[in-house]
Structure 1
Amino acid sequence: MESSVLGHWLVSFQETVTTIAHALDESRPTHDYGPLPQAVRKATRLYAAATFPSSYGMVLEEAPADDDELPLPEVASTESLLDRAMGTVLDITDRAEAGPGAVDAVIETALPLGGRVFNRLAELTEVLADSGADISLTWSSPYSGVRASRLGTGSAQRCRDALRAAQPEERQELLVGMLVGGSMLRRTVEIETTDQGVITARVDHEVPSLLGAYANHRITAEVLVSTVRSPHGREHHSYVVLHLSLYEN
């Protein structure tokens, strides 16, 4: 592998991880605009720790914790923001190698993260697609254990082409339905509507407080809908709640 390819991939990989982390941390439509916060960049900075025999093998690790720093807001103390971002990267590479339907699976996983993540993933897969290189990734976390994934040239090329062609389109929509559930881990709520079934939407609020106030009540939700059509013609949708209130006749 040429050194320029490795350098390009490492830069692109770092930017992809940081951009995904920002999307996971913010859970707001604003994460597609403006500079990435320095706190997120610092929390997700990767350092080269060692190399090992391979076509080219490198150990990348998280920066040591600084006891004088306050934790990032909205980040659980049991799992670092970098761990969450790396887990998402591995989710995407796993889906990219899933055979038939892989492109749709990648789009569905990336869509809730926003258009900026789409662009970063396209750049990352382009490095592999253009160079003919394969990549194997292993991430060790004290919270989720060891995960390994691989992304080959062919899969990278298909994902690159799909991500370049399928940029998210956004619109605001008003939903009326019943708040029937939620997930603290994924920061989502479930809204049962009469015409679209159950819709899962991300929220920028504490899920327990929303469930306590609105569970099993008829509500009105202003949502931001992101839509992408895959190369195979399938439409993918992602929802973010902008405002939620009790339904009034």
Structure 2
Amino acid sequence: MNETDDLLVHRDGGELWLRLNRPQARNAINWNIRRALHRHLLEAEADPRIRAVVIAGTEVAFCSGGDIKEMGNGPEDSAAKLALASEIVQCIARMPKPVIAAVQGHVAGAGIGLALSCDLVFASSSTVFSPAFVQRGLGPDMSTSYWLTRALGIARAKQLLLTARQLDASQALELGLVTEVIDEVDFDSVVRARVTQFSMGPTIAISQIKSLVNAAAESSLPEQLDLEAKAQGLLAATEDHRAALQAFSEKRNPSFQGR
């Protein structure tokens, strides 16, 4: 199996779909997936024609974490894996367009970090999150501790990671870990509709909102106000803002071009 087999890449207009494709291993992350994800995310970051990115798995599993069969190969191999995982997560965070996780079935270990790194997480009703790091004698990676702590607070994040407590989709929604829970039968059609909505939105505004929210937890109030002012100054000059003003005056919905 090569990178092309392990990560299926599909372009649909302004949407880029990246689908983990190792169902025999519950989409565990191997070297092929790491390299392919990193490469295609970097390309999406630089391509203005792509206005939304989707990371998906299969019905059985979104991602079961790191591939156990590729573990235990020494500290250099582990360090290289973690370095590439770091690049993937940081690329998602700075991506100037929305990155959406389409999550079904089993989600474990680093798969949780991959999902939570995305801006929106749409989960099917069959989804089960398993933060099983401690059961493998390992700690969280791929930014899992970062996003869990931001979402849950210190005490709840510790509780979840130290007990390896499983969460079903409704529990994850209640805790704020997912954006929406969608019935399994309707999952594909609803997610595609949601993705299309974002791919046809005001891309630059979405990018600035994403950047502002990511910065908010680490900025002081004056710093955040300054960031907001700079963002508004940039957005006020965009074609999409002018189109929105025109549409408002004409009492119709705007058509955004992402410029």
TM-score of the two chains, using structure 2 as the length reference? 0.29
Structure number having the greater strand percentage: 1
Structure number having the greater helix percentage: 2
